[in-house]
Amino acid sequence: MEGNKTWITDITLPRFQVGPALEILLCGLFSAFYTLTLLGNGVIFGIICLDCKLHTPMYFFLSHLAIVDISYASNYVPKMLTNLMNQESTISFFPCIMQTFLYLAFAHVECLILVVMSYDRYADICHPLRYNILMSWRVCTVLAVASWVFSFLLALVPLVLILRLPFCGPHEINHFCEILSVLKLACADTWLNQVVIFAACVFILVGPLCLVLVSYLRILAAILRIQSGEGRRKAFSTCSSHLCVVGLFFGSAIVTYMAPKSRHPEEQQKVLSLFYSLFNPMLNPLIYSLRNAEVKGALRRALRKERLT
């Protein structure tokens, strides 16, 4: 059997099973979403860097979230748009593997940054007198660097296991190069890979989600003890935007990677992956700009300054 195995060099990315008119519409929509992702996250990152009032731990981590979302979308959307515009699109095997690795790494970074942001809200609301010690700039830097380094190291584990598999067909995946699609190309038993992916999901999704929920239960109890109505409103304002992002990210990721696959047909799985990978990075800056009074204030100050100059 070993002698009959041939390694694939190119992978075909089939087009969406829709008519030409709808395909053009999809291309325009995805281009608009990608542009909004770049602009929205770029504006958030720029405002945080330029506005001194946003030089706090919460917005320090929000700037990292913006960088992750830009990188995450840029990893696969340009190739997806090329696929929509061409009659037949292919990608070489090793660039596909690299795209898979970056897809995992950026998803892990976003997960850990969201957990750190929930800890920051917990420290700020539940321990206000010790907040400057708990979230000093040294602590923030260590948490941010550790999130990036650990995420890339964790993404190497399934990548190494994938590279040990023989890939001899089929030569086609249903959408962009994400780990579940790439595994279908293997001509060997992928049971170990599936177990590792599920264990990684429990470790990087369920575990952090439990930490976030515990943090917010403590935060809710602390908010209800606040006597001032203005204080409660401000606390709910900063926490509600973060909870929306957490719900979108963890909810779509858990449905995509941990729900039984028999419940999701191939086309439905493609839609779930697109939502998890394309819409979340676009929606994050909108949520933070529309639901966060401090970000809206910084935007108004920036626009006012621009008019005066």
Q: Which neighbouring-strand residues pair with 91?
A: 11
Determine what percent of the chain is predicted with pLDDT higher than 90: 24
Is the torsion defined by CA of 76, 82, 87, 90 positive or negative? negative
Give the Cα separation of 139 and 165 in Å (integer).
Answer: 40
For the stretch 51-110, pLDDT in tens is: 888 899 989 999 999 999 999 889 888 877 777 777 667 788 888 889 899 989 999 999
Which single residue is written with the structure tokens 């650990």?
Answer: 150
Q: pLDDT digit of tens for each residue in the chain (309 aa)?
A: 344 444 667 777 766 666 677 777 878 888 888 899 999 999 999 999 988 888 999 899 999 999 999 998 898 888 777 777 776 677 888 888 898 999 899 999 999 999 999 999 899 888 989 999 999 999 999 999 999 999 999 999 999 998 888 887 667 776 678 787 788 888 888 888 888 888 888 888 888 889 988 988 888 888 888 777 776 776 677 677 778 888 888 887 777 777 665 554 555 566 666 666 778 888 888 887 766 777 778 778 877 776 666
For the stretch 172-200, pLDDT in tens is: 776 678 787 788 888 888 888 888 888 88
DSSP-derived secondary structure letter, 266: H
Give the Cα separation of 174 and 269 in Å (integer).
Answer: 9
DSSP-derived secondary structure letter, 15: P
DSSP-derived secondary structure letter, 51: -
11 φ/ψ angles, rounded to the nearest 5 degrees: -120, 130
Amino acid at 269: Q
> Which pairs with CB-CB distance under 8 Å and at least 24 residues apart come from 261-265?
none
Q: Which domains can be identified in the chain, with CATH numbers?
A: 20-303 (1.20.1070.10)
Of 16, 31, 112, nearest to 73 by C-alpha is 31
